[in-house]
């Protein structure tokens, strides 16, 4: 049974720290927030209040903002913030030296059973927690921004992270309604930012080469690729785009994707084994006999989204 009495400590109350506070507090946990910057300490709660009101007015808060807000306390001192916390979520700037120092401090001052998680976007726990005495309790818990809207987060343990730390983090995510993605091998940028990076790198090249403007990139993604991706991920999108599914797509279009990659110095052909493994996952999720029905479902989802967009533009 999850203990909702012990607080969650959040270290760094900028964009991500404040957003995590909303996630944990709205699920029922007391939250102790801390920031080294006095000015930030003075304004973070006001930012949080505004987001809570917005969430409530969109019907996305389980209870009234007046119930959630008092669960969050801004602490003046790191030690106070860590007191009795079951989970510490570090949200300081993306800097290896700073995070390494912080995880040394957290090892020393946090409760001896506290999970010590970093929101880092790129730095693996193997690097920032390498020398931390409590490194078996350290891992990356990387959210999308903001986590109170993007309800998925990456769990990235280091080889030295204990299984108990991972299972307690999974249980916490379940308690707050965020879907976990367990990332293996600690690749730089994990999975979320590697996907984002693939698109951003190409977008910069297209702008550099005068192929399209920055505004046109945003238009193509907002009204094209991104609109579809908000209903189906890239694999399901392609699976539904091609009769015969993703395997047919890979055979027909694979050479074009390979050539585009090679133009950018990347040589990662889609091997038979890779195609089979992705196709098998898709066929388990959607037998080809249900393909047409699913494309109708996708179109209706997109119609819903477009209706909402139209309404909110009026």
Q: Which stretches of the chain bind ligand NAD, using CB under 6 A?
A: 11-17, 34-37, 40, 91-94, 102, 119-121, 142-143, 145
Q: H/E element holding 87?
A: strand 87-90
Nearer to ligand NAD, 143 or 157 (CB): 143
Q: H/E element holding 183?
A: none
Closest distance between ligand NAD and the C-beta of residue 36, in Å?
4
Nearer to ligand NAD, 24 or 34 (CB): 34
User: Phi then psi for 85, rounded to 5 degrees?
Assistant: -70, 135
Q: H/E element holding 125?
A: helix 125-128
Q: Which two tokens stand for residue 290?
A: 């249900």
Q: What is the number of the residue whose Cβ is closest to ligand NAD?
A: 14
Q: Which two tokens stand for residue 110?
A: 């946090």
Closest distance between ligand NAD and the C-beta of residue 44, in Å?
8
Nearer to ligand NAD, 72 or 246 (CB): 72
CA distance 176 to 297: 29
User: What does the buried/exposed string (b/e) look like for 158-173 if buried means 16 or more CB atoms within 10 Å of the residue's CB?
Assistant: bebbeeebbebbeebb
The DSSP letter of residue 187 is: -
Closest distance between ligand NAD and the C-beta of residue 199, in Å?
15
Nearer to ligand NAD, 53 or 94 (CB): 94
Nearer to ligand NAD, 39 or 267 (CB): 39
Closest distance between ligand NAD and the C-beta of residue 101, in Å?
7
Neighbours of 76 (CB within 10 A): 10
Q: Which two tokens stand for residue 142?
A: 């990387």
Closest distance between ligand NAD and the C-beta of residue 102, in Å?
6
């Amino acid at each position: 049974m999850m203990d909702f009495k012990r607080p969650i400590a959040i270290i760094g109350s900028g964009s991500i720290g404040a957003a995590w506070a909303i996630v944990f507090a709205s699920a029922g946990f007391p939250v102790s927030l801390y920031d080294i910057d006095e000015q930030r300490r003075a304004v973070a709660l006001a930012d949080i209040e505004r987001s809570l009101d917005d969430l409530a007015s969109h019907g996305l808060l389980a209870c009234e903002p007046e119930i959630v807000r008092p669960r969050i306390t801004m602490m003046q001192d790191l030690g106070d913030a860590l007191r009795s916390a079951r989970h510490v979520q570090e949200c300081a700037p993306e800097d290896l030296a700073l995070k390494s120092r912080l995880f040394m401090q957290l090892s020393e001052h946090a409760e001896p059973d506290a999970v010590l998680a970093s929101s880092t976007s790129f730095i693996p726990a193997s690097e920032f927690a390498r020398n931390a005495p409590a490194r078996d309790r350290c891992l990356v818990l990387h959210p999308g921004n903001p986590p109170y809207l993007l309800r998925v987060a990456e769990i990235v343990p280091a080889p030295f992270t204990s299984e108990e730390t991972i299972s307690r983090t999974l249980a916490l995510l379940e308690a707050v309604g965020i879907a976990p993605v367990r990332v293996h091998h600690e690749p730089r940028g994990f999975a979320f930012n590697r996907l984002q990076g693939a698109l951003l790198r190409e977008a910069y090249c297209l702008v550099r080469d005068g192929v399209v403007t920055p505004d046109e990139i945003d238009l193509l993604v907002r009204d094209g690729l991104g609109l579809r991706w908000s209903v189906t991920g890239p694999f399901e999108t392609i699976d539904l785009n091609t009769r015969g599914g993703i395997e047919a797509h890979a055979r027909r279009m694979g050479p074009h994707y390979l050539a585009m990659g090679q133009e950018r110095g990347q040589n990662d052909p889609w091997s038979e084994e890779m195609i089979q493994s992705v196709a098998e996952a898709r066929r388990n999720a959607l037998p080809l006999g249900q393909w047409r029905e699913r494309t109708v479902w996708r179109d209706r989802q997109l119609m819903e989204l477009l209706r909402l967009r139209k309404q909110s533009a009026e």
